[in-house]
C-alpha cells in the first residue's frame, strides 16, 4: 500500500470518531468567486447549482439513509467504532487496488468516480451499523458449508503456485553483495530482508512476499526456475529494483481440500447473508420513516430537457413543445 493510501485511511479516524458530525466548513456565499477563466467568474452559487444537478439526488438519498441508520443504531445501543470503520475502509481499498492497472492508485480511483473521503467514511460507518443490527440473525451450519463445497469444487481449484520471499534493493552491486552474504551464511535471508530491503512489507516480515503463480514476469520466471525449497535465485532486475528471490514452498495445481477452505466458505456464506439482511433492513427503515424530500432535482435540469425535446421535434419534422427552448442554431 502506497504511503498516500495509508494516510488516507488513518487520517480519517479522527473524522469518524465524530460520527456523522462534520468539521466546521468555511462559510461560502453564493456570489463568492469559485474560479475565474479569462476574466469570466464562476461563482459558488454556479458551482452549487451544478453539483446539485449532477449529484444532488444520490447524495441526498445517501445522507437520508445515514440519518435513518444512525437513528436506529442509537435506539439499539449499537456503535460503529473508529477502528471498525477504518478497518472497513482498508478492506474496501484493498479490494479496489486488486483490480487497478499498474501505476494507478486508490486516490485515482476515488477521483475518477467523484467519491469523496467523507462519502466513503459515511458509507463504511453505515455498513458497519447495519451489519451489527442483523448479525445475530445469521447462522451457517456445517451441513450448508459442506454442501456448498461439493457443489462448487471448481471454485477452489488452485493453479500451480509458489510461496516466495524476496529482497529488493536499488543497486545491482548491493544485491550481489547481499546474496553472497546469505549464501556464505554470514546473515540469514530474513535478517538481510529486514536490514536491506526497500520493500516495506517484506522488510517487516523477513522478506515474505506470498504465493505467486507461474507467468512471464521476470519475478515469476526467476522464482519458478528454482528447483527446491530454500533455493535462492541469482540477482535480477525487477519493477522496483534489483531482486533476490527465495523459494519457500511449492504446490502443484489442485482443488483445495475441504479442510483448508471450510472456514473461508463459512465466512463467505455468513457475509452474503448479513449483506442481504442489511439491505432489507435499510429498505424497511426507508419505508417506515417520514421523509420529506423538498428539492426538485429534475427541475435543475429542465433547461437541458427543453433543448433536447426541441431538438428531437426538429429532427422529426414537428414543432417544439410549448414553452420549449429552441435548439441552438
The model's pLDDT over 141-169, given as tens digits with 9 standing for 90+, comes to 999 999 999 999 999 998 999 999 999 99
pLDDT at 4: 42
CB 270 within 8 A of CB 138: yes
pTM score, whole prediction: 0.65
List of domains in the chain: 3-137 (no CATH), 160-252 (3.10.50.40), 296-329 (no CATH)
Residue 128 pLDDT grade (very low, low, confident, very high; cuts 50, 70, 90): very high
Question: Does 105 or 263 have the greater pLDDT score?
Answer: 263
Least confident of 106-110, 135-139, 216-220: 106-110
The share of the chain scoring above pLDDT 90, in percent, equals 64
Whether pLDDT at 293 is above 90? no
pLDDT tens string 230-265: 999 999 999 889 999 999 999 999 999 999 999 999
Whether pLDDT at 32 is above 70? yes
Question: Does 207 or 303 have the greater pLDDT score?
Answer: 207
State mean pLDDT over 56-60: 90
Residue 207 pLDDT grade (very low, low, confident, very high; cuts 50, 70, 90): very high
pLDDT tens string 112-122: 988 888 899 99
Q: Hey, which bits of the chain come out as E strands?
A: 33-37, 40-43, 157-158, 161-169, 208-213, 236-237, 242-251, 254-255
What are the CA-CA distances from residue 203 to residues 193, 231, 241 (Å)?
5, 20, 15
Query: What is residue 167's three-state secondary structure?
Result: strand
Least confident of 3-7, 176-180, 280-284: 3-7
User: Cα separation of 205 and 3, whole Å?
Assistant: 18
Mean pLDDT of all residues belonging to the chain:
87
pLDDT at 329: 42
pLDDT at 102: 66
Residue 24 pLDDT grade (very low, low, confident, very high; cuts 50, 70, 90): low
pLDDT at 323: 52
pLDDT at 326: 46
CB 15 within 8 A of CB 24: no
Amino acid at each position: 500500500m502506497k504511503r498516500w493510501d495509508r494516510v488516507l485511511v488513518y487520517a480519517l479516524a479522527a473524522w469518524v470518531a465524530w460520527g456523522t458530525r462534520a468539521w466546521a466548513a468555511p462559510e461560502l456565499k453564493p456570489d463568492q468567486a469559485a474560479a475565474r477563466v479569462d476574466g469570466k467568474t464562476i461563482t459558488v452559487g454556479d458551482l452549487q447549482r451544478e453539483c446539485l444537478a449532477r449529484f444532488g439526488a444520490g447524495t441526498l438519498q445517501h445522507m437520508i439513509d445515514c440519518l435513518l441508520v444512525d437513528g436506529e443504531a442509537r435506539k439499539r445501543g449499537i456503535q460503529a467504532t473508529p477502528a471498525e470503520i477504518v478497518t472497513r475502509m482498508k478492506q474496501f481499498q484493498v479490494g479496489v487496488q486488486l483490480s487497478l492497472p499498474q501505476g494507478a492508485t486508490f486516490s485515482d480511483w476515488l477521483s475518477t468516480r467523484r467519491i469523496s473521503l467523507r462519502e466513503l467514511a459515511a458509507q463504511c460507518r453505515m455498513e458497519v451499523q447495519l451489519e451489527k443490527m442483523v448479525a445475530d440473525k445469521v447462522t451457517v451450519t456445517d451441513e450448508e458449508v459442506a454442501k456448498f463445497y461439493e457443489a462448487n469444487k471448481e471454485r477452489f481449484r488452485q493453479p500451480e503456485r509458489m510461496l516466495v520471499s524476496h529482497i529488493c534493493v536499488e543497486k545491482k552491486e548491493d544485491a550481489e553483495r547481499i546474496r553472497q552474504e546469505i549464501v556464505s551464511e554470514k546473515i540469514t535471508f530474513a535478517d538481510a530482508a529486514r536490514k536491506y530491503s526497500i520493500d516495506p512489507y517484506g522488510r517487516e516480515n523477513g522478506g515474505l512476499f506470498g504465493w505467486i503463480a507461474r507467468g512471464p514476469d521476470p519475478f515469476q520466471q526467476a522464482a519458478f526456475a528454482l528447483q527446491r525449497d530454500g533455493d535462492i535465485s541469482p540477482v535480477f532486475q525487477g519493477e522496483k529494483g534489483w531482486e533476490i528471490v527465495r523459494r519457500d514452498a511449492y504446490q502443484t495445481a489442485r482443488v483445495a481440500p475441504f479442510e483448508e477452505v471450510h472456514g473461508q466458505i463459512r465466512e463467505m456464506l455468513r457475509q452474503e447473508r448479513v449483506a442481504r439482511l442489511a439491505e432489507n433492513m435499510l429498505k424497511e427503515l426507508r419505508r417506515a420513516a417520514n421523509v420529506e424530500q423538498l428539492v426538485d432535482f429534475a427541475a435543475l435540469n429542465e433547461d437541458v430537457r427543453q433543448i433536447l425535446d426541441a431538438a428531437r421535434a426538429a429532427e422529426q419534422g414537428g414543432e417544439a413543445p410549448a414553452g420549449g427552448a429552441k435548439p441552438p442554431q
